[in-house]
Amino acid sequence: MKKIIAGVDEAGRGPLAGPLVVASVILQPSVSHEKLNDSKKLSSKTRDMLYDWVLDNSLDYYIKIVSVEEIDRLNILQATLYGMKECIENLKIVPDLALIDGNKTPDNMKIECEAIIQGDTKFDCIQAASILAKVTRDRIMLELDKIYPMYMLKKHKGYPTVLHRTLIQQYGVSDIHRKSFRM
């Protein structure tokens, strides 16, 4: 009997603004796409196309949005592990194994978890999760850009670029900025 494997990845650990987004994906057996890759290595157009492909070719998936407030309360590492745990535990199909991109797994899991460094370059299911997380976060940041146009979020998606830091100095910290991060 084949094992049911979930891939887990996140987007948004490094930004100064916006949520952290974590996703888990169980792909249908024997499906693959030649363009699947780490979401950071793909164009936004390819990511958008693959986002729809992942939704159409997964047995199950779950996306957890971890708010700025939760990140500030927990710290970014604990917020990431919390998001991963939520993503795995909220799948309707219980996987036999969760492959997690990175070097840590959440504590107290009922499901076997394995951390894979650079897993988003090695496993389709982690690449699929990477794409769901990145596209979801980018779409959130584009919506936040409409509310907070002075921060030009659509240009940097909240990451600590020179432009973003300059705009924070000019306009101050907003409620979408992580207060626990230092500039």
What is the distance between the alpha carbons of residues 30 and 165, in angstroms, rounded to a whole number?
45
- Looking up residue 140, the CATH number of its domain turns out to be 3.30.420.10
Query: Model-level pTM?
Result: 0.95
**Is 157 among the domain residues?**
yes
**Is 153 among the domain residues?**
yes
Q: Of 33-37, 47-51, 106-110, 155-159, which range is least confident? A: 33-37
Label residue 166 exposed, middle or buried (CB < 10 Å: 0-12, 13-18, 19+).
exposed
- How many domains would you assign to the chain? 1
**Is 31 among the domain residues?**
yes
**Is 53 among the domain residues?**
yes
pLDDT tens sequence across 52-76? 999 999 999 999 999 999 999 999 9
pLDDT reported for residue 70: 97
Q: What is the torsion angle, in degrees rounded to the nearest 10, for the CA atoms of residue 35, residue 126, residue 89 and residue 112?
A: 140
**Is 163 among the domain residues?**
yes
**Is 84 among the domain residues?**
yes
Enumerate residues 6+ apart whose C-beta is below 8 A from 40.
Answer: 120, 130, 134
Q: Helices H, strands E: what count in the chain?
A: 6, 5
User: Does residue 50 contact residue 35 with C-beta atoms inside 8 Å?
Assistant: yes
Report helix angle 44-57 to 124-147, nearest 10: 120
**Is 178 among the domain residues?**
no
**Is 33 among the domain residues?**
yes
Range of the domain at 103: 5-171
pLDDT tens sequence across 84-108? 999 999 999 999 999 999 999 999 9
- Is a pLDDT exceeding 90 seen at residue 30? no
Enumerate residues 6+ apart whose C-beta is below 8 A from 25.
Answer: 6, 7, 8, 54, 58, 60, 61, 125, 128, 129, 132
